Structure 1
């Protein structure tokens, strides 16, 4: 049991939260929720021991292992994937090495009666008790199993970590955490860089094998599937619900309704009391009653209504220019990088107005196909063609990071805006939740979600009839994802969507292109039907 007692955090005299107390029990699966800026990540870092609270403490039994996966990692690239993941067992290897060293020392020493000799025996005994109490584990097999579960292939095991993207290195760090079998796993946005199958693998691990878990996530399906408790951080305090995210939303609405009713009743009481005081003030026969009611008002504790995040993305794609009947044609396209074949002889035809999804594990070629369609890369054979009068709007996976960090929000948009639209930049930015002085902020200080919203503004400055979105929801909060989804549903152009977010994908596409084993397979079904048919939600059906 881990106890959080009277935590308080202050920044520059302002209180982020105060008097926060809760207990994390074995097997609790907790979603830490709250609007951006409420203090979720700060609270998680304090529990992890990465940051200190202004007041209060986190206490846990001796030898409790708490593992923390932050949103952004600072990794070193000086070993292979397998070696890096094996560091999860570093403490075990060090324990074994120390035992061997001490035993050799005992073999060579002859001062059997000395205190130093007795101390070494005691150390060996203590280490031996700890070491032999560990379950008999094939560490290499466990490392390989975890890495494969998170999407790595056999040939990846001995590649240098420097060859992998930040998302893949995040998976290595996640594998290390899972292999440690900690008492508490803390995860801050763990699904941003992993594909659907790996998310499902992670869900199964957290539900069936992990002990206590606390997670911050904007992936609704993920947190609903793994959590049984929700702690909401709001207005400097917390509310604790024994419920998953969807149930918590309903309970929170009930709570606000009761708060609102109590608040209205209290306001009526205050108004009536003030009216009585004003009416009978100075009336001798009512002096005691007036004084009593004045004291009551002084002692009255105002009822607060939980804040509601009223900021909302206003997103509507402009009407699409008319295009030809066929938007995209791919004929016998093949692509390799050295000896690694991404896909070969791929074919696809996407008609005007169709909404399609590209699905498959990371590294199977989804982003590569998008780049080939856009002529950003050369292919080894075949041809990709855009249809007549196609105007493309492209949101790349790293779109947010492509913006100049030295520019302000306003300058970023002014740089690409043309004609009369430049007169309305402030209004457009306001619709994307960049109001007032926000427009003068540098891109470098923006959060991941703010950068994604700003990239969306750039995407909407010119009407397009082919939207290509590669993981557009990374860093977007749940409300913004819902708004984007509704806008895409009503978008009248052609859509190609790559996403690992099952909740976001549902209801968005009527055709699926599956990237698997160097092939591109066309499925004439919705993403919902595809997932159900493959029974992908059940780990047993994933061929790892």
Structure 2
């Protein structure tokens, strides 16, 4: 059992949260929720022991193991996969090395009667007792087994981590966590930049193999599937619900309705008593009653209503000009980099107005196919855009391609043409950039703000083919819902690459799966595809044991 006791955090005199207390029990699966800036990541770092609170403390058993997966992975690029994963046993290796160092020192010393010599004897004895009490484990074999179980091939073990995508790096970190057998796993946005198969594996691991878990995530399906409890940070306080995220939303709305009703009743009570005080103040016969009511109002604790984030992205794509019957066609399309084949003899045809999803593991060729469609790379075979196809493209790293030295206004003004230049402030306002925010430098914007700004640029001219590669990274749940609604209303052709199942659901009727150097066309919804994919993934996991 891990206890968070009266924790408070203050920055420059401002209170982020205070008097936060709750208990994390074995097998709890907790979603840590709250709007951006509420202090979720800060609280998680405090529980992980990375950051100290202004007040309060975290209490846990002496031998408890807490593993933390940060939002931004910290793997070193100068390590191989095997070396990075072996850090799970770093404390054991350090213990072994320290024993060897002390033994070497004892061999050369002759001051057998000194206090320093006796301290070294005691220290090596204590360390040896701990070290030799450990199970006799072949640590390298354990690391290799875990890596293989998560999909790494033997030839991957000695490749540098820098060669792997964010999803595969997350798997390396998860191997380290798995081998530590922690009592508590802390995950901060674990599904960002991760393919669907990785998310499905992570869900299965957390549900069936992990003990206690605390997770911060904007992936609604992920947190609904794995959590049985929701802890919300709002207005500097916490609320604890024995429910998953979707149920928590209902309970929160009910709580807020009760708060509003209680607040209104209290305000009426205050107004009635204040009217009595104003009417009879100075009346001798009512002096005691007036004084009593004044003291009562002074001591009254005013009911607070939970804050609601009313800022909302307003998004609508311009009407799509009419294109030909098949805006995108590929015939026997192949792509390789030297000896590495990405995909071979791929065929696809996407009809006007069709909405399709590209899915598959990271590195299987989804973004490569998009680059081929956009004419950004060389390839074998045929890939053509149809008659009057006007393409709007949102790259996976679109937000990072913005010029950091420009302001928000300058970024849009640079690409705006015609009459729209007179409406830039109105357009930015629809994307939650108003007032002084339009004069902010791009370099100081958050990930979500950069993504919204990149989306503004995409909407400046009408298109009939939208290609979106991971558009929801860094977007909060509300912004993702708004984008999804806009895409459902978009009357052009949509090609969507995303690992976010909740976002994909209902958006496409056809799935192109990128797998084992092939592109496989499935005439089914993403829901049907994922049901099959989950079964296949679990079967593969069973076979790898």
Q: CA deviation at 1:479?
A: 0.9
Structure 2 partner of 1:386? 385
Whole-Å separation in 2 of the counterparts to 1:139 and 1:461: 56
Shift of residue 534, structure 1, vs aligned partner: 3.5
Give yes or no for contact 2:75–2:84 (8 Å, CA) kept in 1.
no
Structure 2 CA distance for aligned equivalents of residues 273 and 57 of structure 1: 42
Match of 2:496 in 1: 497
- Counterpart of 2:201 in structure 1 is 201
What's the counterpart of residue 357 of structure 2? 357
Distance in 2 (alpha carbons) for counterparts of 1:221 and 1:142: 32
SS of equivalent to 1:252 = helix
Deviation at 1:299, TM superposition (A): 1.4
* Cα distance in structure 2, aligned partners of 1:221 and 1:129: 46
Q: Whole-Å Cα distance in 2 between the matches of residues 111 and 209 of structure 1?
A: 52
3-state secondary structure, aligned to 1:534: helix
Distance 1:118 1:286, change over 3 A: closer
Counterpart residue number, 2:54: 54
**Cα distance in 1 for residues equivalent to 2:54 and 2:388:** 60
Aligned equivalents of 1:69, 1:424: Cα separation in 2 = 43
Equivalent residue number for residue 375 of structure 1: 375
Alignment partners' CA distance in 1, 2:521 and 2:47: 46
Counterpart residue number, 2:523 = 524
- CA–CA distance in structure 1, aligned partners of residues 150 and 444 of structure 2: 31
Higher mean Cα deviation, 101-110 or 279-288?
Answer: 101-110
Q: Show the 5 A alignment for 1:294-333.
A: 294-333=294-333
Deviates more, 1:223-232 or 1:322-331: 223-232
> After superposition, what is the alpha-carbon deviation per residue over 1:276-307, rounded to whole angstroms, capped at 9, x for unaligned?
22233333333322222222211111100000
Residues 289-348 of structure 1: CA deviation (Å, up to 9, x unaligned): 222222221111110000011111111111101000001101111111121111101110
- Provide closer, same or farther for how the CA distance between residues 507 and 132 of structure 1 changes in structure 2, counting only shifts above 3 A: farther
Q: Secondary structure at the match of 1:364?
A: coil
Deviates more, 1:41-50 or 1:496-505: 41-50
CA deviation digits over 1:118-174, x for unaligned, max 9? 666644543344334434544334323443455533332221223234554344334
TM-score, reference length from structure 2? 0.93
Deviation at residue 115 of structure 1 after TM alignment: 7.4
Distance between the aligned counterparts of 1:115 and 1:208, measured in 2? Answer: 51
CA distance change for structure 1 residues 346 and 76 in 2, over 3 Å: closer, same or farther? same
Measured in 2, the distance between the counterparts of 1:157 and 1:459 equals 40
Equivalent position SS for 1:530: helix
Encode CA deviations 1:9-42: one digit per residue, 9 max, x unaligned.
2222221111222222222221111001111111
Q: Is the 8 A contact 2:68 2:185 kept in 1?
A: yes
The 8 Å contact of residues 390 and 465 in structure 1, kept in 2 or not, is answered as yes
Tell which deviates more after alignment, 86-95 or 218-227.
86-95
Give the distance between the partners of 2:210 and 2:132, measured in 1 at CA.
22
Which sections of structure 1, spanning at least 5 residues, go unmatched?
none
Q: Equivalents in 2 of 1:411, 1:302: separation in Å?
A: 45
- Following superposition, the deviation at residue 99 of structure 1 comes to 4.3
Paired residues of 1:29 and 1:213 also in contact (CA < 8 A): yes
SS in structure 2 of the partner of residue 26 of structure 1: coil
Tell me what 1:179 maps to: 179
Displacement of 1:448 in angstroms is: 1.0
Return the alpha-carbon distance in structure 2 between the equivalents of residues 116 and 288 of structure 1.
Answer: 77
Which piece of structure 1 moves more, 70-79 or 83-92?
70-79
Q: How many residues align?
A: 543
The 3-state SS of whatever aligns with 2:327 is: strand
**Could you tell me how far 1:500 is from its partner in structure 2?**
0.9
Q: Does the 8 A contact of 1:151 with 1:361 survive in 2?
A: no
Q: Does 2:29 align with 1:29? A: yes
Q: Deviations over 1:220-278 (max 9, x none)?
A: 11111222221111111111112211121111111111111110110111111122222
Aligned 8 A contact 1:30 1:214 in 2: yes
Aligned to 2:87: 87
8 Å CA contact 1:149–1:198 kept in 2: the answer is no
RMSD (CA atoms) = 2.4
Question: Which residue pairs with 2:408 in the alignment?
Answer: 409
